Each structure stands twice: as structure tokens, then as C-alpha cells.
Amino acid sequence: MWVLTTLLLLVPSSGQAATLEKPILSLHPPWTTIFKGERVTLRCDGYHPLLLELRPISTLWYLGHLPLPSYKKSIEVQTPGVYRCQTRGAPVSDPIHISVSNDWLILQVPYAAVFEGEPLVLRCRGWYDKAVYKLHYYHDGQAVRYFHSSANYTVPQARASDSGRYQCSGTMRIPVESAPLFSAKVAVTVQELFQVPVLRVLGPAPARGAAGGGVVLRCDTHLHPQKRDTPLQFAFYKYSRPVRRFDWGAEYTVPELEHDELESYWCEAATSTRSVRKRSPWLQLPGPASPLGSTTPAPAPQAAALAPGSKPLSFRKPPVSTSVPSVISLPNTTSAGLHFPAAGRAPTAGPPACAATTSLGQSPGVLKSNVDLLLREMQLLRSLLTRVVLELKDPQAFPELRGTLQTPTSHFAVSLGSLGTTKVET
């Protein structure tokens, strides 16, 4: 008889599976830090079978790893520590850590996890609810809010950036106004509601008629286990243009007409109130000639460069330069080592640069004499041009040149004539 009763206790009367979800442990009032001597209430909500039991045990309580002598659904405690509860046939609940303080000022934070988009409420409380004046709230050492007297600090829609260590300070009249008092620092973590979505290609869409149906994309994300019942909406974008606005469908079919080469898509997941919105990285679709299986998300550097709202990068081949370097034609000369075709003679097959290369086979002495001669003539030309410039500026400075020097071109023709070149007259 005892064995039969035990089996009945382990099987839920409603026909549910023997493995049940863990119960939910709640705290009232919902603050994890209390003053010494205060009491708070813990409540365990879970599955309770309606069976005839030999022992009136419905809930088990634990402080740390030690069981507590209570089997009710709720208990009052004032001892610091980690509390858990368990209902029949279900696993142990998530813990709640209760702290007891003997300070004048404490910062109270919610016992339950705060998720993205939810309000975050912090309470700076004086000893046994004494009024606090000149109240400051601090986040990671930086003052974020000031109140003249006792008030809660509220973040309407928490974000991951709101995580950190918080502290408060203020004065109290005990009996006269005290110096600024500081609470202990408390760590607050804002939980991620759902992961950043990823846009994936499921495959080709079903064909309609003779033409194909395009490509099916899916916006994948995962909700936190405690928030798996939160409804999400999805939107799809081509570059910065929305191709489908927010609705409940997580899939989108790219029409075949829009399935061109180098097209980038991305999606966005959000709650129904838009309190939390997250965007996926870019996904570049292959061209019609590319195999569909080769579609992969863009690498991280490209995804960061092609942020939503910006235009995609275009890569073009630089134009090929068709310009030909200018060639200075020189008249025929009789200098040794330099050979140029005479006037009226047909040009050689190679360019002038190739003809100049043949002079490199001459002796070093001949080349040196040619270079020295050229340098002397260049110096002479420079001095003549300098005198011409000075003559133009001040004709009285060089009376011996008056009537002989006409233009800079004349001097240039005379200097070239000394080399045996064709004389140019102006």
C-alpha cells in the first residue's frame, strides 16, 4: 500500500509528464537588501498535485544546501543567504540572494532579472525609512541623477549599457542633518532578451509557372529561456530600402527579378512595442549564374563598413592610361656616340629610346667628353639667358650688348650653332 501511494504521488493527476518545470520563487517586497531586524516574504509558485498524501508535504525550502522546517507555499525570513524552493516532482527553483545591512543608507535593487526593454527601478532607502535629502545616484562612479529628497531612480527601458555597479548618497536628519552618507555598491545586470538576428538563405522558393520563385531568406534569433513566450516581429531590407515592414513572419522571399548580382539584404527583429530592436549583419546574395549554396554572410569587416543606412561600396577597375610620353626631337648632330637619322631619311624600326641605348657600347672616355661638352654649353646658355634677362630689366647696365642681343631666342640659336646644329633665326 505504501509503494502504491508513493507511485501516485510521483505521477501528476492531470496526465502531465512526470518532469515538470521548476517553480517560480518570488520576493515581497521585491528588494534583495533589507535592514537588520526586518522580515521579507518568500513565495513558491509551482505544480501541486491534488492527491491523498500520507504526509502533508507540498513545498520544500532550502537555505543554501540546508532544508528549512517549513512546507508551506510562503515563508517569512530575516536571515541573509541564498534561498530556493521545490515542489513535488519538479526541479529546484532559481535562487534568491537576500542581504542584511546595518548601514544608515542602502541601495535596493530588484530580486528578479531585468531584461532589455523592461523598466529598471533602484531605491535608495534610509535607516527604517528615514527621509534622505540631497540624494545622488551613481552608475559606475558617475552621477546620473539628483533628487532633493527620497525618490526612486527609474530607467524606463533598460539596455545592456545600463548594466554595472550602482551606488547612492545623501544626508539624513539624525537628529540634525548629517554629512553625506554612501550606500554599498550593488551590481546590476540587464539580461539580453533575444540574440542579434542572423539572416540566412533557406533555399530557392517554389517555382511558379515556367519561371523560378526566387530565394527564401529567414531572420533567425533566439529568445532567453525565461522569455521564450515573448512575441517578436521581423522586417527585411534591401540596402537601406525596406522590402517588407514589421510583421510576424520570420521569412521573406526575394523575387527572381530582384535576384541580381551583388545585392545585399539585412533583417531586423523587434518586440511588438519596438522597445527592443536589433539588426542583423549584411547578407550578399549570389548572382543568377552563381550557385545558391555559395551564399554566405559578408565577412565581419565588410559587414561593419556596410552599416545599415549607408550605400554599398563599389569596386571599379582603374582606367588604363593610353597617353604616350612626349619625345623631344633633336636635330642631326655630328657629335661622337650620338646617331640620329638625317632629315628625309626613313626612321628606324625602334623608338628613339632604343637608338640611344646603342650608344652605351662606346668607350667611357668618349662618353665623358660628350657629357663635359654638353655641360659647358649648358652653362654658356645659362649665362647668356641671365644677361638677356638683366638687359630687359635695365638696358643701361650692358651698353656693349645693345644692338647685338635681340631676343632670348637669338642667343639660343647662337649657342646651338656653336655645337654644329641647325641655326634657328627669329
| Pairwise CA distance, residues 167 & 400, whole Å | 97
**Phi, psi dihedral angles at 371 (to 5 degrees):** -65, -45
Among 16-20, 151-155, 362-366, which stretch is predicted with the lowest mean pLDDT?
16-20
CA 366 to CA 390: how far, in whole Å?
A: 37
CB contact at 8 A, 199 and 217: yes
Cβ(93)–Cβ(24) under 8 Å?
A: yes
Ordered structural domains, the chain, with CATH: 2-100 (2.60.40.10), 103-191 (2.60.40.10), 198-305 (2.60.40.10), 376-426 (no CATH)
What is the rounded distance in angstroms from the CA atom of residue 373 to the CA atom of residue 335? Answer: 10
Give residue 5's pLDDT.
Answer: 38
Please confirm whether the linkage preceding 297 is cis (ω < 30° from 0). Answer: no
Q: In this predicted structure, what is the pLDDT of residue 105? A: 95
Q: What region does 344 belong to: left with phi over 0, alpha with psi -120 to 50, or beta?
A: left
From the number of C-beta atoms within 10 Å of its C-beta (0-12, 13-18, 19+), residue 313 rates as exposed
Name which residue leads in pLDDT, 166 or 311. 166
Question: What mean pLDDT, rounded, does the chain reach?
Answer: 75
Largest pairwise CA distance in the chain: 145
108-125 residue pLDDT tens:
999 989 999 999 999 999
Q: Above 70 in pLDDT, residue 267?
A: yes
HEC secondary structure over 309-339 = CCCCCCCCCCCCCCCCCCCCCCCCCCCCCCC
Which residues on neighbouring strands pair with residue 123, listed in sequence order? 108, 152
386 pLDDT band, cuts 50/70/90, is: confident
Q: Which of 420, 347, 406 is nearest to 377 (CA)?
A: 420
Q: Give the H or E element holding residue 121.
A: strand 120-126
Q: Report pLDDT for 208.
A: 60
Mean pLDDT over 267-281 rounds to: 95
In this structure, of 147-156, 209-218, 395-404, the range with the lowest mean pLDDT score is 395-404
pTM for the full predicted model: 0.59
**DSSP-derived secondary structure letter, 288:** T
Instruction: Please report which confidence band the pLDDT of residue 53 belongs to, taking 50, 70 and 90 as the band edges.
Output: low
Sequence-distant (≥ 6) Cβ neighbours of residue 400 within 8 angstroms: none
The reported pLDDT for the residue numbered 40 is: 95
pLDDT at 376 (0 to 100)? 83
Look up residue 59 and give its three cell numbers.
Answer: 513545498
Which residue type does 74 have? Answer: S
Of the candidates 229, 176, 204, 207, the residue with the CA atom closest to the CA atom of residue 286: 204
Q: 7: part of which helix (H) or strand (E)? A: helix 2-10
pLDDT tens column, 287-328? 554 554 445 444 433 333 333 444 444 434 444 444 444 434
| pLDDT at residue 406 greater than cutoff 70 | no
Cross-strand partners of 92: none
**What's residue 364's pLDDT?**
62
DSSP state at residue 110: B
